[in-house]
Amino acid sequence: MDNVNTYQLKIKQVFSEVSKVVVGQSYMVNRLLIGLFTGGHILLEGVPGLAKTLTINSLSKALHLDFQRIQFTPDLLPSDLIGTMIYNQNASAFEVKKGPIFANLILADEVNRSPAKVQSALLEAMQEKQVTIGETTYRLDLPFLVLATQNPVEHEGTYPLPEAQVDRFMMKVYIDYPRKEDELEIMRRMANMSFTDSVSKVLSRDDIFAIRNEINHVQISETLERYIIELVFATRRPAEYDLLDFAPYIQFGVSPRASIALNRAAKAVAYFDDRDYVLPEDIKEVAYDVMNHRIILNYEAEADGIRTKDFIESILRKVPIS
């Protein structure tokens, strides 16, 4: 229990260190830490200027991990990401030049600015934790986490992410504008040049693996496990769950990765709340971030103004905990 208390204090210290630089984005930091401690990749979406990149950069400084920021652009090539084979004239042989993907923490900045072939280069790394260059496969150092940012797809110069890649993100978190009080503080800091980028390192690699182990031991009852399955199946068969208003608009429900992510994320929420057991509220708290990007609506939904958020809210209201 002493170790758990120590780790709880360190997690709070991470929030404190990041808040030195970033104002009012504790929700974003919470989701990033859930991903870090459960091994799940996180996708942040929001208009430019909402401190998505700054938050990830600040978080990386609080960790004793190798960090790489990759700016995705329309002319980026897969080899710029994973590396390539280079011919060494002196040795008369090809040598491997590893790309920036060989780090523990990857910031894929504006990931939807690059075409599908570059985005797809992330698939093997995200799922298998390995990269293939030439005929050789290289294991990536653990922990390995992709924290990606993207602009809304309606913005000019963006490419929709392939569905297979989107599904590999544990959560897709929508970042909104700051509150009035937070924006006032941001304005004052920047106008008075009183901001700082000094963040102390708090968590080591061993700390991260230890916290992951503690979260794995958080208990979830069979009733709540079955509740997660019911939530997942409600997205696939809405008519069976008294969701007839939404049934005509659902093209695909969530994949099995969603049930795994709901379980892991709910355990992390409970752990952050200093509990060793999961409550129904923990599952509901992360349900939207876990499921919003995995539900595929059809064209009729867009025409009729049906939103994924409304569908998920209806699921949480109507699916009982039995």
How confident is the model at residue 154, as a pLDDT? 58
Task: Name residue 174's beta-bridge partners.
Answer: 45
Q: Which range scores top for mean pLDDT: 14-28, 195-209, 214-228?
A: 214-228
Question: For 100-154, how does the pLDDT look when each residue is reduced to its tens digit (9 = 90+)?
Answer: 999 899 988 888 888 877 877 787 788 888 888 877 888 988 889 999 888 776 5
Quick one: pLDDT band at residue 156, thresholds 50, 70, 90? low
Angle of CA points 120, 109, 61, to nearest 5°? 120
How confident is the model at residue 3, as a pLDDT? 56
For the chain, percent of residues with pLDDT exceeding 90: 36
> Which of these ranges, 73-82, 203-212, 223-232, 284-293, has the smallest mean pLDDT?
73-82
Indicate if the pLDDT at residue 7 is higher than 60. Answer: yes
Indicate the pairing of strand 83-88 with strand 67-71: unpaired
CA distances from 72 to 47, 119, 122, 303 (A): 16, 9, 12, 31
How confident is the model at residue 20, as a pLDDT? 84
Residue of higher predicted confidence among 156 and 306: 306
Quick one: pLDDT band at residue 217, thresholds 50, 70, 90? very high
Indicate the pairing of strand 250-252 with strand 105-109: unpaired
How confident is the model at residue 1, as a pLDDT? 45
What is 2-204's CATH topology?
Answer: Rossmann fold (3.40.50)
Residue of higher predicted confidence among 219 and 132: 219
User: Of 41, 268, 287, 300, whose CA–CA distance to 150 is shortest?
Assistant: 41
- Global pTM reads 0.88
Mean pLDDT of all residues in 273-277: 92
How confident is the model at residue 85, as a pLDDT? 76
Give CA–CA dist 284/307, Å, rounded.
18
Q: Which range scores top for mean pLDDT: 26-30, 121-125, 255-259?
A: 255-259
Indicate if the pLDDT at residue 284 is higher than 90. Answer: yes
Domain residue ranges in the chain: 2-204, 218-318
Indicate if the pLDDT at residue 193 is higher than 80. Answer: no
Residues with Cβ within 8 Å of residue 144, at least 6 apart in sequence: 104, 106, 125, 129
> Do you find a cis peptide bond into 100, omega within 30 degrees of 0?
no
What is 218-318's CATH topology?
Answer: Helicase, Ruva Protein; domain 3 (1.10.8)
CB atoms within 10 A of CB 287: 22
Indicate if the pLDDT at residue 204 is higher than 60. Answer: yes
